Structure 1
Amino acid sequence: MGDGFHPGELAVQRRAGERDVAAHVGRSIRATVPGVAAAFLAECRMLVLGAADEAGRLWASPLFGPPGFLGAPDERTLLSVVRPGPGDPLAGVLGRGGTPVGTIALEPSTRRRMRANGLAAPDGAGLRICVEEAYANCPKYIQRRELSVEYPEAHQPGKVVRASELGRRQRDLIAGADTFFVASADVAGGADASHRGGAPGFVRVSGPDRLAWPDYRGNSMYQTLGNLERSPAAGLLFLDWSTGGVLQLSGEAVIDWSPERAAEFPGARRVVDFRVTDVRETANGSPLRWGAPEMSPANPV
C-alpha cells in the first residue's frame, strides 16, 4: 500500500487529482489513540459501527450511552460498555471475536468527530476494539445540535421492522435528512465508518430502492470511495434526531464520475448511487433527542 492506503483508495485519489494532498493528509492516521482523542471519546454519547454481517452485507449500527460509556484504557484499545442488541443486524457477528469494524464517534453539540478502525471482540456486555487506525476529521458538513432530552429513566427501543425496500415515510425521512453515516469495507475485509452531511435534501430518493448523494470536497483520502471502487457493498444509517428513530439500510453503492451528473447536485465533485437491498427500522431506537440543527457553513447552498 502507498502511504498506508490500499489500491482502491490510491486509484480514487489519482482519478480525483488529489494524490499528493492525500499523501500529506494521510500522515495524520495513527495506529494509536492519542490522549486528546481518549478525552473526547469519554465525553461522547454516540458511536457508529460499520461492519459486515454473517452474510457479508454491510451495515452501520449506532451505540448510545451517557458520557463515559466509551473509553480508551490504553492507546491501542477502544472500549464500549454496550454493543448492538438483539434485532440489530450486527448483533450476531459482534458477539464473536476478531470482527473487522470501522467506528466514528461524533458529538453534534461541538461538531467534533473521530474515527477508529480495528478488530472487535465482546467484552462482557460491551465491546473491545483493538485499534489499527485512528484519526480525527475536520468539522466540515457536521450540523450543530444540542441535546433536548437525555436518557429517560426507562428507554425501551421499539420492535425492529424489516423490509426489502423503502416505504413512503422512510423515503420522506431520507429526502429531508441533513446527515447520515456510511459503512464500507475494502476487499481484504477491513471496515470503515464515515459521516456525510449537507443541506436538507442533499440525499435524493428516486424510488423505493434507489437513492443518491453528492460527494463533496473532503479530506482527500477517499477511504469510503476507495472501498466502493473495488467493493460496492455499503450500509447507511439515518437518525431521526427529534424522535429517536433509527433507519438502517444495506445495499450496493456505485460512483458516477461524469461531470454531467455532478452538475445536478450543487457543490458535488461526483455522485454516489445506492441500491437498497435490506431495510431495518427501529422506532425509539435512540434514547437521545436533539433540537433543531444549526447548519454547517460548509454545506453547499
Structure 2
Amino acid sequence: MTNPAHGVRTGFHEGELAVQLRAGATRQAARLAGMLAPADLSGGATRFLAGRTFAAIAARDTDGALWTSPLTGPPGFLHASSPTTLDVRALPAAGDPLEDLPAHQAVGLIALEFAARRRLRINGTLSHAHRHGLRVDVEQAYGNCPQYIQSRQLHSGPGTAPDTGPVRRGRGLTADDIDLVRRADTLVIGTTHPARGNDASHRGGPPGFVRVEGGALWWPDYRGNNMFNTLGNLQADPAAALLFCDFTTGRTLHLSGRAALEWTGTGVPGDDDDTGRRVRFTPEQYVAGRLLSLQADTVTAAPDNPPLT
C-alpha cells in the first residue's frame, strides 16, 4: 500500500478549514497553525514517548479497511531514534485486525498518559513493519490539551492468555458489545484524508457519552482546541475506525466503518457541551476480544466532562 501523502504536511487542509469556518473558529485555529509544522521528536516529546506504555495506531489492513488498534509495551517501547523517526518496539496483538499490518502506508498514532492526562499525536508513514516492531517516518507531532482524559494508572494485565476466549469478528454488534460502548468513558478514533493520510485522536466523557441507536453510534462533539483535525478529515472522507477498551478486563472492541459530522443546533437532547455538533458512526465490521495487555483498577473522571443531557 502506498502513502497518499507526498512531501511534508503543513497547514490546515480544506476539510479542517471548512469546519473551522462553520464553527466560527477560524481565528482561534489560525493561532495554533504552528503546531502543524514539520515534526521534531526531540526534547520533551522524546522524554514523553519514552515513558509511555500505551499508544494507538490508525492504519489500513491488507484489504484496505481502516482500523484503530492498541500498541502496548514497557516504558521505552516508543523510541524516537531521530527527530523524524519513531521506532515502536511492539506489534498489534494476535487476532487484532491490524495483526498483519502492511508497511508503506500512512498511519496516525496517539500516545496517551492517562494518569497525568497528557497525549501526543503523531502522523507519518509506516516505512517498516517486521517481527520486532514498527518504524514510522514522522511528518507531524504535536501535543493536545488534557481535556476529557479520564485518569487511570495502567499496569500489566493477563493480556491474551489462552483462557481469555476467542476473538470474534462480524458485522452486527452483540448485546455485550453494545454494553461495552455504553459504559465507555474513552474511545480512540481513526480518520483519514486522501492527501494527508491517517490520524488517531482521543475522545472522552462520562460513561454513556457514546449513544447506540438503530445500529449506529453517535456522540456529541465537545469544545476543544478548534483545530478540528478529526472532523475536518470526516468532512473530506467518511472512513473511520473506533477503538473501545475495557480497562478493567482488557476487553477491546474495534469498529471499522463510516462517520459523518452532523450540525444539530445547540440545546437539542444529547448536545452535552452546547456545541451543536455530533458525530454519527455506522459500523461495517467489528473485531472483539481481550486484546489489551494493560489494565487499570480505578478511574478518576476528567474534571471538564460535561453532564449528559
Change in Cα spacing, 1:195 to 1:6, as seen in structure 2 (3 Å) is same
What TM-score, normalized to structure 2? 0.90
Query: Structure 1 stretches of 5 or more lacking a match?
Result: none
Match of 2:225 among 219, 226, 234: 219
Identical positions, percent: 45
Q: Give 3-state SS (helix, strand or coil) of 1:259's partner.
A: coil
Q: Please state if 1:193 is matched with 2:208.
A: no
Q: Does 1:161 align with 2:161?
A: no
Regions of 4+ moved over 4 Å: 151-158, 260-263
Distance in 2 between residues matched to 1:189 and 1:21, nearest whole Å: 22
Task: Give distance in 2, aligned partners of 1:295 and 1:142.
Answer: 8
Give the aligned partner of residue 10 of structure 1: 17
Please say if 1:210 is aligned against 2:216.
yes
Structure-2 separation of matches of 1:153 and 1:200: 24
Give the drift of 1:154.
8.5
CA distance in 2, matches of 1:59, 1:150: 24
Q: CA deviation at 1:56?
A: 3.0
In structure 1, C-alpha distance between the alignment counterparts of 2:160 and 2:68, rounded to whole Å = 25
Aligned to 1:293: 299
Q: Offset of 1:292 from its aligned partner?
A: 2.1
Change (3 A) 1:153 1:247: closer
* Matched residue, 1:279: 286
Query: 1:188 Cα deviation (Å)?
Result: 2.3
The amino acid of 2:149's aligned partner reads: I
- 1:29-48 C-alpha deviation (Å, 9 max, x unpaired): 34221310111111111110
Deviation at residue 2 of structure 1 after TM alignment: 11
SS at match of 1:60: strand
SS in structure 1 opposite 2:69?
A: strand
- Say yes or no: does 1:178 pair with 2:170: no
Unpaired runs of 5+ residues, structure 2, are 1-7
Give the Cα–Cα distance (whole angstroms) in 2 for the partners of residues 182 and 131 of structure 1.
19
Partners of 1:203 and 1:80 lie apart in 2 by 30
CA contact (8 A) 1:261 1:271 kept: no
In structure 1, the residue matched to 2:34 is 27
Q: What is the CA–CA distance in structure 2 between the aligned matches of 1:193 and 1:153, rounded to whole Å? A: 23
- Give the corresponding residue for 2:113: 107
1:253-264 aligned within 5 A:
253-259=259-265, 262-264=268-270
The corresponding residue for 1:46 is: 54
Moved more, 44-53 or 120-129: 120-129
| Coordinate RMSD, CA, aligned | 2.1
> Shift of residue 77 of structure 1?
0.6
Q: Deviations over 1:254-297 (max 9, x none)?
A: 111121685433214101111111010112x1121102211111
Cα distance in structure 1, aligned partners of 2:15 and 2:65: 19
Secondary structure, in 3 states, of the residue corresponding to 2:31? helix
Note the 1:72-111 alignment, pairs <5 A.
72-92=80-100, 94=101, 96-111=102-117
Matched residues, number = 296
What is the one-letter code of the residue matched to 2:15? G
Q: Contact (CA 8 Å) 1:42, 1:67: kept in 2 or not?
A: yes
Letter in structure 1 aligned against 2:113: E
* Secondary structure at 1:48 match in 2: strand
Question: 1: CA distance between counterparts of 2:158 and 2:95?
Answer: 21
Aligned residue number for residue 247 of structure 1: 253
Matched, 1:231 2:276: no
Aligned pair in 2 of structure 1 residues 155, 45: CA closer, same or farther (>3 Å)? farther
Of 31-40 and 174-183, more deviation after overlay is shown by 31-40
Aligned partners of 1:122, 1:54: CA distance in 2, in Å? 13
Equivalent pair of 1:163/1:278 in contact (CA under 8 Å):
yes
Asked whether the 8 Å contact 1:182–1:195 carries over to 2, the reply is: yes
Residue 84 of structure 1 deviates from its aligned partner by: 1.8
- Cα displacement string for residues 199-226 of structure 1 (whole angstroms, at most 9, x for unaligned residues): 111000113x211001011111111000
Equivalents in 2 of 1:183, 1:66: separation in Å? Answer: 24
